[in-house]
Amino acid sequence: MVVDDSVVVRGLIARWLTEAGQFDVVTTAANGRIAVDALERFQPDIVLLDLEMPEMDGVAALPLLLKRQPGIKVIVISTLTQRNAEISLKCLSLGAVDYLAKPEGSRQVSTSEDFRRDLIEKLNAHAGSRGRVMRSTMSAGASVVRSAVKPILTRPQYLLIGASTGGPRAIEEVLTGLGPVLQRIPILIVQHMPPMFTTVFADHLRALLGVRACEPRDGEPIVPGTIFVAPGGRHMGISPGPAQPVIRLDDSAPVNFCRPAVDVLFRDAASVFGSAALGVVLTGMGSDGTHGARALVGAGATVLAQDEATSTVWGMPGGVAKAGLAHDILPLEAIGPALKGYITGSNP
């Protein structure tokens, strides 16, 4: 179901999805009220939900949609503003599975190949995820998968996290699980997000965790007790620096169709940090992070991956796991405690 107050946008998206061949657009709606009322009749698997609409906007409609049809996947769509970025992240906390930034105005939407491609990719990823949901507590029977990769004896000094679809909520849970250990180590995050979204996400992490979290500047020293969030639209890497490692930002070509890319961060970390790095690949579509994880393992670093059952989409962590590059493949709830053990040296 496509929910947008613009008849042009509704028609465009419906046509794109029909032409893609993998989807049936069962209905469209001009506002949240119409969408909620249509839910029982059409029972869509996925709802594309615009945020800004008359009568009932996306934020008001979201909890009603989830209540009437538990398990439905809602992807919120909004124009690229800081306010909409804040609202989109709020929607993720309320149960939306993903977000998508759209160009402003019907004309820009109709001519944006990037928006069309991102829309189809996200829908394909969620259509293939078989209704997995994240759990806030350890599920019964959840298992820890031990990899054949040899255990690492070096205590890590730098934590690197890569994520995409479903990542904001997963990152929150992992970092919350670190507790006071957050102050002992620098944390570098690549979360696939557009500009402004990464700014808002860094602000959210700072408020949630009570530690410094920011989009770094180029050349900024990498120091403990700080969370560095790669800015949307720019790669975040690492350079040795004159006295200590520093952040490197650049606008080079996308890697794995992504900028920022996890592979860029991981490869630099393998070169600069070596075995002192600790890499984590969380939920996300695509394969970004696999090549970088190979570089990290080759440098003697530790790599963990989120398991399939707790991933919104098991693309990125699945790629690392299937390549045999993960030291542990863990449920989301177990990753924070495991990281704490590696950082403090208390893991078996």
Q: What would the pLDDT profile of 112-138 be if each residue is shown by its tens digit? A: 888 899 999 999 988 876 544 434 333
> Exposure of 260 by Cβ count < 10 A (0-12 exposed, 13-18 middle, 19+ buried)?
buried
From 98, 164, 204, 235, the catalytic residue: 164
**86 and 156 part of one domain:** no
| Strands 246-250 vs 235-239: parallel, antiparallel or unpaired | antiparallel
- Confidence bin at 81 (pLDDT 50/70/90): confident
CATH number of 102's domain: 3.40.50.2300
**109 and 153 part of one domain:** no
Q: Could you please report the per-residue DSSP string of 220-250?
A: -B--TTEEEEPPTTSEEEEE--SSS-EEEEE
Q: How many domains does the chain have?
A: 2
In the residue annotation, 288 being an active-site residue is answered as yes
pLDDT at 137: 35
Quote the tokens at residue 162: 């890569």
**229 and 339 part of one domain:** yes
In the residue annotation, 110 being an active-site residue is answered as no
Report pLDDT digits (tens) over 144-183.
Answer: 455 546 555 578 999 999 999 999 999 999 999 999 999 9
Report pLDDT digits (tens) over 191-223.
Answer: 999 999 999 999 999 999 999 999 999 999 999
In this prediction, residues 246-252 reach a mean pLDDT of 97
CATH number of 152's domain: 3.40.50.180
User: What SS3 class is residue 334?
Assistant: helix
User: What SS3 class is residue 326?
Assistant: coil
Strands (E), 80-225: 98-102, 145-146, 158-163, 187-191, 212-214
From 4, 57, 288, 307, the catalytic residue: 288
**151 and 280 part of one domain:** yes
* pLDDT of 38 strictly over 50: yes
Please report whether residue 139 resides in a domain: no
pTM, 2 dp: 0.89
**297 and 171 part of one domain:** yes
Residue that terminates a domain, selected from 96, 127, 158:
127
The maximal CA–CA distance of the chain, rounded, in angstroms, is: 65
pLDDT at 191: 97
In the residue annotation, 164 being an active-site residue is answered as yes
**168 and 118 part of one domain:** no
Task: List all residues 6 or more positions away from 243 whose beta carbon is below 8 Å from its beta carbon.
Answer: 221
How many percent of the chain have pLDDT more than 70?
92
Domain that holds residue 331: 145-344
In this prediction, residues 315-342 reach a mean pLDDT of 96
Q: How many CB atoms lie within 10 A of CB 344?
A: 14
**321 and 284 part of one domain:** yes
Task: Report the C-alpha gap between 332 and 348 in whole angstroms.
Answer: 19
* pLDDT of 282 strictly over 50: yes
